[in-house]
A and B are shown apart, each in its own frame.
Chain A
Amino acid sequence: MSMSPTIMSLDALAALVPDGAKIAVPTDYSGIAMAATLALIRRGVRNLHLVSVPATGLQADLLIGAGCVAVMETAGVTLGEYGGAPRFNEALRKGQIKVLDATCPAIHAALQASEKGVPFATLRGILGSDLLLNRPDWAVIDNPFQQGDKIVALPAIRPDFALFHAPMADEAGNVWIGHRREQMTMAHASKAAIVTVEELRPGNFLDDPLLAPGTIPSIYVGGVAEARRGAAPIAMWGRYPIDDAFMRGYAEAARTEAGFSRMLDLLMEPQKAAAE
């Protein structure tokens, strides 16, 4: 088997994403495509509609701070134990981005609706919350099987791209995600997954009964780039921990725009060096 044409460089991957694209990104423990995110920032992408699945942190804060984001659809944006997300919070205060506040299972369910090709999902809960009041794109419908039972209907979320980092891809463009199944749903729900991996491997994972269960078939994958330590400074499960020093520094410095720029430059350094 020859190398799939979907296997490309990090910059080629970033070039797939046009301004205004709707992009789904996973939560921090699930594989953050940080190297690809920095490539997007470097190429100056604008007006992204970012959907966090279901929450996000540094990745969204960097994109927002760099002016790449128009809409943030999320159940939570936080640096976790390092504190609030300073650029997200500031952008909201100043009204620079639109926020679509959601709840975790609503984002999952709306992606699953897209995965199934149905126009909407239903979900328990939410009724009586101010989330519902502020989401005119959501609806309340009747359960046709039980008189008087109201339930929230959520329109399917169909991102242009699912963007995430995974342990490995094979030369056919299949991506092994292991038990991080939310990446499978994100890939299915999106028009195309664009993925960075710690390593490219020969062969075809689908032929291996131990690898196949944790593999996203290439039909869902629009691009794959190798990016070693591609999630850093965020942790990659089973590989490397979060960069504690960077995160502490960022949480403090990014409270100001100047401090944010300094931290972003710090992250860009190695990439710039590699590109030269």
Chain B
Amino acid sequence: MIDKSIAAVEAAVADVFDGARIMIGGFGTAGMPDRLIDALIAHGAKDLTIINNNAGNGETGLAALLKARRVRKIVCSFPRQTDSHHFDALYRAGEIELELVPQGNLAARIQAAGAGLGAIFTPTGYGTLLADGKETREIAGRHYVLEYPLHADFALIKAHRGDRWGNLVYRKTARNFGPIMAMAAKCTIAQVGEVVPLGALDPEAVVTPGIFVQRVVATGDARRAAA
């Protein structure tokens, strides 16, 4: 019997190694796997490269990981926010590397990794600073920039419900990067509100098929609102 569910959040991240490339789901705090990040901080892995849309908000989650100085480099689209002071301080001190990627290229590069593509020509960013030095090409009268896939060793994501085969459904806009990050990482670890019995998820409504998920941790704090 295959059971990808893991009881302890600590065990779920136990094999994260120093220098790992880690995707972390979430758009701001919606969909951010806070419990997995807390466990990662406790675990102690350092020199990490983090791929996330943002660079932390306030004091918790990714911001706390940054504050703990575990992150060498961050790949994101929107680091500057009113409450991104931990990132801001590290950045201004030259203590963190930033690779700024337009949000749609971030998504497309993550998808390219998941789908096994070698590179993609994307129109986003053409003619801007963020395409400086990159290969470009005109195709059918339009200009494109060549962008490469973003792979990761681990993806930490948050979903609403999961089952022991790793199938996932999400909740509202907390879905965001979860499904595409799950496809792009060697090991995807999903924090879910609850693990439901096999067959309880509608096979037509599963968003992330279990093949893309290696571990599922129930936190028991699923929102039970409208959805």
State whether these chains interact. Answer: no
